[in-house]
A and B are shown apart, each in its own frame.
Chain A
Amino acid sequence: MSKKNKPRDNKNINPEESKYPQIPSQPTDDTTASLLRELVAHLRQKRSELREEWALRIQEAELLTAMNKEEILAEATSVYDNYVEALETGTYAALQAYSRNLSERIIPRGVETHEVVGIVLLLRDVLARSLFSKYRDDFSKLNRILDAYEPAANRIANTVAVGFVQERERVIREQQEAIRELSTPVLQVRERLLILPIIGIIDPKRAQQVTEQLLQAIRRNRAKVVVIDITGVPSMDEKVANNLVQTVDAARLLGASVIVTGLSSEIAQTLVVIGVELSKIVTVGDLQGGIEEAERELGYRVEYVDPSKS
């Protein structure tokens, strides 16, 4: 208490009073630092009490519903300690690393961005409340403590939220990459016959990738005929159509002929309207027809044998 009252006492007693009014308007780093030290000491002292209150408030607000009570308390403890440490040291690297690590653990469990931001703001409020009650008798001290606390607390909230969002974006990017890898399988259905089902929207990057994979597969499997099935392609513009023509040309350079199947009536109409030159490409109505055509080309004959007679 004596420490707390000191500045005001000085102000009252000190003969060089005229100097002091300047101090609150231009607080030096030293005062902010000492205030933060005092704050940290307070938060350390009340650690378990405040932490439990925070965990309670989280549950009341129905945040982190994907986690049970013990998990919330455990997580709250480490967030609390990291929080106080960031306040104490003024560095955010450790907190950043922790929030990334936390995000890695909780994102797969379906924790939403608003929940993470919500709990950090709740912690900020809980701590601010405890400061209010501690310094309620000394308004100017409270003000200065809050001056020191608020920017640091906001910065912490910011750091955690940004860490969470960055982690989430990283996960999304990885998944996009994985989808892109998986989305273009080249399958061999007969000796020298490949099928390439394309599903989803084709953008230039994907078209390039599809072509590369197809060419590699043609060489690897020594394919002579490729059936490209575009039943799963929702729409096609001029660019995509030209990409398709390029894919077909490239396959032909490797000595494989291409049959395109599954053009929807919408795509057929669009292609005719925009006038893409598709006459060089062999097209067949559906995948079955395409495979039958390819088998004919390769010299296969599929014969029906009645299973009951064999």
Chain B
Amino acid sequence: MRVPILKQGSYLIASVQSSLSDEELIQLSDDLIDKVSDVRSKGVIIDVTVLDVMDSFATRVLRDIAQMIKLKGAPTVVVGIQPEVALAMVSLGLTLGSLKTALDLEEGLSLLKNPLSEDND
């Protein structure tokens, strides 16, 4: 299943609905990059609330997406990482690098709207 990408004002929201296979992740990456150029987006949010596993491949793809979108001039925020997933990720040594994270969609949007707090992070 393709991940739906919603447009909210000048922001794009990719809302993951079920666990993703590797192909679906690559698909998401392609879709997002195309769409960012299409709509001249000012920021992208990837909502991973439903994911209860985040492996090294998914982590890398998310990091790459963020970097590619940054080259197009928009920041990316990953929102909704579950506490258990976060715990598992750090114990596996997976990090999102410079990728921004926020608690949920609402927080993510306010982070994008408020570049000041972004600098502080």
Contact = CB atoms under 8 A, between A and B. Distances in A.
Given A246-B91, A249-B95, A253-B90, A212 B83 contact: yes
Interface of B: 79, 81, 83, 85-87, 89-91, 95-96, 100-104, 107-108, 111, 117, 120-121
A256 B83 CA distance: 12
B90 A254 contact: no
A240 to B, nearest CB: 15
Could you tell me the dominant secondary structure of chain A's interface residues? helix
B117 A255 contact: no
A211 B91 CA distance: 11
A219 B103 contact: yes
A297 B120 contact: yes
Given A215-B83, A253-B90, A253-B101, 19 more contacts: A208-B87, A211-B87, A211-B90, A212-B87, A215-B87, A216-B83, A218-B83, A218-B103, A246-B90, A247-B90, A249-B89, A250-B86, A252-B101, A253-B86, A253-B89, A254-B81, A257-B120, A257-B121, A297-B117
A87 to B, nearest CB: 57
Report, as a range, how many residues of chain A touch the other chain. 20 to 34
A254 B83 contact: yes
A293 B60 CA distance: 32
B105 to A, nearest CB: 11
A195 to B, nearest CB: 18
Interface string A206-250: 001001100110110010100000000000000000000011011
B103 A254 contact: yes
Contact of A249 (B90, B102, B107, B121): B90
B101 A255 contact: yes
A174 to B, nearest CB: 27
A85 to B, nearest CB: 54
Nearest to A214: B83
B120 A250 contact: no
Contacts of A215: 83, 86-87
Contacts of B81: 253-254
